[in-house]
């Protein structure tokens, strides 16, 4: 079942064409990863789907257009890229969740935190959390309404390799156990290779799409990033994972 449908999407901001004629579908239960070079329009694609930037074309998220996204706010979870947050703001995780809560029952706050393995952070002040802890809290916040779809923009941009692996394992768990469909933006082809079920290669237009192991070939990566590019085994990760298919994309 298609939960996200994008047809002939065009985005122009300040007379600059950011996205041209993007068309794709995402089916229920998928982890779809948007990859592409810096400035290729990945974040803009996500924001246009969520109704945060104006666009032309046809977009349907869980059956509604982005202009009506607020009507299904509870079914949508969103983790923005590098959330600008004043760390001196005196707010506890509990307060943040109570304020954003869709219902008075505190049980669902604990459930959301538990799904993100962050229940121990409930009484902590946001300002003292590490980058990884803060990202888990944001993920839990996105899970608060019991969403059917999660949108994440570079969810591990500010955390180390180990922490980012944990976040992606968590997303895999959510997809598998909670049947949540996930659309994420990532710059890390290795991660996409490991965790995504579908990849969308964007460089102002849709360069390629499909299952990662079929789509992420040297030719498509060359088309996407330009120049000479290849996939190299990521030794550290290859030791961690037994199936040995982990790769990291390298610019050269």
Partner 1 sequence: MFEFLELQFMQRALIAGVFIGSTLSLLGVFVVLRKSAFFGDAVAHFAFAGIAVGFLLAVHPIAAAVAVSLALALGMGYVQNKAPAQSLDTIIGIFFSGAAALGIFIIGLLHGYRVDLFQYLFGDIIAISSSDIAAAAIITVVVAGILAFLWKPLFKVTFNREIAFISGVRVSMVDYMFLGLLAVVTAMSIKVVGIILVPALLVIPAASAKNISRSFRQMIFYSLFFGVASVVGGLIGSFYLNTASGATIVLMSIVFFAATLIAPHSE
Minimum distance, C-beta of residue 171 to partner 1, in the bound complex (Å): 18
Chain contacts with partner 1 (rule: CB under 8 A): 47, 50-52, 69-71, 73-74, 76, 78, 80, 83-86, 88-92, 95-96, 99-100, 125, 128, 141-142, 145
Q: What Rg value do the Cα atoms of the chain yield, rounded?
A: 18
Q: Are 132 and 159 in contact (CB under 8 A)?
A: yes
Backbone angles phi, psi at 75, to 5 degrees: -90, 0
**Residue 13 vs 161, nearer CB to partner 1:** 13
Pick between residue 185 and residue 207 the one whose CB is nearest to partner 1.
Answer: 185
Q: For 59, what's the count of Cα atoms within 13 Å in the CB-facing half-sphere?
A: 24
Number of CB atoms found within 10 A of residue 14's CB: 5
- In the complex with partner 1, the residue whose CB is nearer, 58 or 70, is 70
Closest CB 50 distance from partner 1, rounded Å: 6
Q: Work out how close the CB of 186 gets to partner 1 at its nearest, in angstroms, rounded to a whole number.
A: 19
- The residue among 95 and 162 lying less far from partner 1, judged by its C-beta, is 95
Q: How far apart are CA 144 and CA 130, in angstroms?
A: 21
CB of 22 to partner 1, least distance (A): 20
* Strand order through the sheet with 16-27: 16-27, 2-13, 56-61
């Amino acid at each position: 079942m298609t939960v996200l449908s994008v047809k002939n999407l065009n985005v122009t901001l300040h007379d600059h064409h950011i996205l041209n004629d993007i068309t794709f579908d995402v089916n229920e239960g998928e982890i779809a990863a948007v990859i592409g070079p810096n400035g290729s329009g990945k974040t803009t694609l996500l924001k246009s789907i969520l109704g945060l930037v104006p666009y032309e074309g046809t977009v349907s998220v869980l059956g509604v257009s982005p202009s009506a996204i607020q009507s299904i706010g509870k079914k949508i979870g969103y983790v923005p890229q590098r959330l600008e947050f004043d760390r001196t703001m005196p707010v506890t995780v509990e307060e943040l969740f109570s304020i954003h809560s869709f219902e008075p029952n505190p049980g669902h706050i604990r459930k959301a935190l538990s799904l993100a393995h962050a229940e121990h952070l409930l009484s902590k002040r946001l300002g003292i959390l590490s980058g990884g802890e803060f990202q888990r809290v944001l993920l839990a916040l996105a899970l608060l309404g019991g969403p059917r779809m999660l949108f994440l923009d570079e969810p591990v941009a500010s955390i180390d390799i180990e922490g980012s692996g944990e976040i992606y394992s968590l997303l895999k768990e959510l997809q598998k156990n909670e049947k949540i469909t996930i659309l994420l933006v990532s710059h890390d082809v290795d991660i996409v290779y490991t965790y995504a079920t579908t990849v969308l290669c964007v460089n102002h237009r849709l360069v390629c799409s499909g299952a990662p192991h079929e789509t992420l070939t040297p030719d498509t990566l060359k088309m996407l990033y330009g120049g000479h590019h290849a996939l190299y085994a990521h030794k550290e990760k290859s030791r961690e994972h037994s199936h040995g298919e982990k790769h990291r994309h390298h610019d050269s």
